[in-house]
Amino acid sequence: MLLELGNIFKWVNSGGQRIFLLKDINLSVEEGEFISVMGPSGSGKSTLLNVIGMLDGFDEGEYQFLHESVHQLKEKHRANLYKEYIGFVFQSYHLLDELTVYENLEMPLLYKKVKGSERKAMVADMLDRFNIVGKKDLFPTQLSGGQQQLVGVARALITNPKLILADEPTGNLNSQQSEEIMQLFKKLNEEGVTIIQVTHSEKNAAYGSKVIHLLDGRKIASE
């Protein structure tokens, strides 16, 4: 088991009322799964992904990640856990516009305090693998959306994570670019990377092996 959520609730208080963002979420994810999360806008998809990625906390329930109880961990230990095992891909890429492609890819390694020579080798390797060696000195705004997302995925992968969390990764891409990203996810998944993606597209969801449907913060179905 890679991770397990048990009876997770998350809420905010507003005007003396409790507004639930997640309600009683139970979810088990095995290593090697490829899961799609679907649901209308505002149903809690991003919140769920952020909880899984430990970017957000929750108010009730239990979260086990690789046999660690995330809800009981100190912040530093939790940060080490996600830096080690989780890579994020965002709809709007979240690349740093003032940094080159090379420097963007290097960033997660700097956070992990990987040494200079090793860092160089890892970035070079990733540039090579994604066929973007020629783009290494360009800035994100000099790339197409599809190329930016390729860099986004490369950056998520550079630390060799077990889990990729992708929040509408193709939301800003045309159909050909989307297809490329989905093919890439498929290949990564075949290589053993666990993937959880949020998508509005049935076609993208079909790349995964399981679909979870959310409505008003609740899991309403899973297929």
Ligand X SMILES: Nc1ncnc2c1ncn2[C@@H]1O[C@H](COP(=O)(O)OP(=O)(O)O)[C@@H](O)[C@H]1O
- Residues at the interface with ligand X (CB under 6 A): 12, 21, 39, 41-47
Q: What is the DSSP letter of 55?
A: S
Q: Which is nearer to ligand X, 13 or 117 (CB)?
A: 13
Q: At 100, phi and psi to the nearest 5? A: -75, 170
| Minimum CB–partner distance for residue 45 and Mg ion (Å) | 5
Q: Which is nearer to Mg ion, 22 or 132 (CB)?
A: 22
| Minimum CB–partner distance for residue 43 and ligand X (Å) | 4
Q: For the sheet containing 34-38, what is the strand order? A: 86-90, 163-167, 194-198, 34-38, 210-215, 218-222
Q: Which is nearer to ligand X, 29 or 212 (CB)?
A: 212
Burial call 151-188: b when 16+ CB within 10 Å, e when fewer: bbbbbbbbbebbbbbbbbbbbbbeeebbbbbbebbeeb
Structure tokens at 64: 């086990």
Which does residue 21 touch among Mg ion, ligand X, none (CB within 5 to 8 A, set by kind)? ligand X
Q: Which is nearer to ligand X, 15 or 134 (CB)?
A: 15
| Minimum CB–partner distance for residue 134 and Mg ion (Å) | 33
| Minimum CB–partner distance for residue 12 and ligand X (Å) | 4
**Which positions lie near Mg ion, rule CB under 5 A?**
45-46
Through-space distance between the first and last CA atoms of the chain, rounded to whole angstroms = 19
